[in-house]
Amino acid sequence: MEQGTDPAPPQTRGLVLIVEDDGAIADVQRLYLRRAGFGIHIEASGEAGLAVIRSQRPVAIVLDIGLPGMDGIEFCRLLRAQDDWTPIIFVTARDEEVDKILGLELGADDYMTKPFSPRELVTRVKTVLRRGPARRGSGVLRVGSVTLDPGNRTVDADGLPVELTAREFDVLAYLLATPGHVYSREQLLSAVWGQASYTPGRTVDVQIAALRSKLGAASPIQTLRGVGYTARSLPDRDGEHGR
């Protein structure tokens, strides 16, 4: 595995940082992401990866959890503690649901379990980078006291800025774009993740819980038990539909 930065393709989509200590896996990821138009930088340790983020400003990070020294979980924790919300896709040999949930609760945007298709990785990277709301209209979205600006990718709740991961932003924007419409978990997975068949339904619940925590009392997200989720402003958010 040759570490360092590949020269950017002529029509680059931006730089992707790969933090992976398995050289063969990193080289395959490099090959497919570069074919898709991304510049690539590879590092084999979490410490080196964090240093690269400060100097290179990648658009996305493909992060192995099982790194020597600082593992991927700690890497993600430290990055988010620095208020850096660069999209992160966890890659790991572990497949227990608890690992997936932990990674998403820490602020990861997606999660892949080895072995996986490198083409699927490219799709996942494109998905976390896409501005889903922009395809549904570029106007500012408001429900209750929550305001979302798709162009600037900013969110305010009760007049205060709220920091969201790229995935949390896309989930919230999808719900706010059609207030009152109820979406099932499967519909949200398909629309926001783009790969519903590869992503556990629990993932949606984790993202919704994170959004509610960050939005606090201003959260317009409602649960219709056994049906799905919607965004709407109600006088009593703790009413019959629950939170």
Per-residue tens of pLDDT for the chain, all 243 residues:
556 565 544 445 688 999 999 999 999 999 999 999 888 999 999 999 999 887 778 889 999 988 989 999 899 989 888 878 788 998 887 666 556 666 667 778 888 888 889 999 999 898 888 743 333 344 788 999 999 988 778 999 999 999 998 889 989 998 998 888 898 888 887 777 765 445 556 788 989 999 999 999 999 999 998 889 999 876 544 443 444
How many angstroms separate the CA atoms of 144 and 65, rounded? 38
pLDDT, residue 89, reads 92
pLDDT, residue 233, reads 79
Cβ proximity of 221 and 208 under 8 Å: yes
Burial of residue 139 (number of CB atoms within 10 Å: 0-12, 13-18, 19+): exposed
- Could you say which DSSP state residue 137 is in? -
pLDDT, residue 242, reads 43
Which CATH code fits 132-231?
Answer: 1.10.10.10
How many angstroms separate the CA atoms of 176 and 169, rounded? 10
Cβ proximity of 60 and 14 under 8 Å: yes
Dihedral sign, Cα of residue 127, residue 13, residue 74, residue 213: negative
Q: Residue 2 carries which side chain, given as an amino acid letter?
A: E
Torsion region of 234: left, alpha or beta (phi above 0 gives left; psi -120 to 50 gives alpha): beta
How many angstroms separate the CA atoms of 12 and 201, rounded? 33
SS3 for 46? helix
How many angstroms separate the CA atoms of 94 and 108, rounded? 15
Tokens representing 191 are 């629309």
Q: What is the pTM of this model?
A: 0.57
Reported as type and span, the H/E element at residue 31 is helix 23-35
Q: Residue 34 carries which side chain, given as an amino acid letter?
A: R
How many angstroms separate the CA atoms of 203 and 189, rounded? 9
pLDDT, residue 241, reads 42
Could you state, in order of their start, the residue ranges of all structural domains in the chain? 4-129, 132-231
> Hey, what CATH topology would domain 4-129 get?
Rossmann fold (3.40.50)
pLDDT, residue 87, reads 87
How many angstroms separate the CA atoms of 68 and 33, rounded? 24
How many angstroms separate the CA atoms of 141 and 129, rounded? 20
Cβ proximity of 93 and 113 under 8 Å: yes
Query: What are the backbone dihedrals phi and psi of residue 129, each rounded to the nearest 5 degrees, phi first?
Result: -90, -20
- Could you say which DSSP state residue 125 is in? H
- Strands 228-231, 221-224: parallel, antiparallel or unpaired by DSSP? antiparallel
Tokens representing 82 are 């620095």
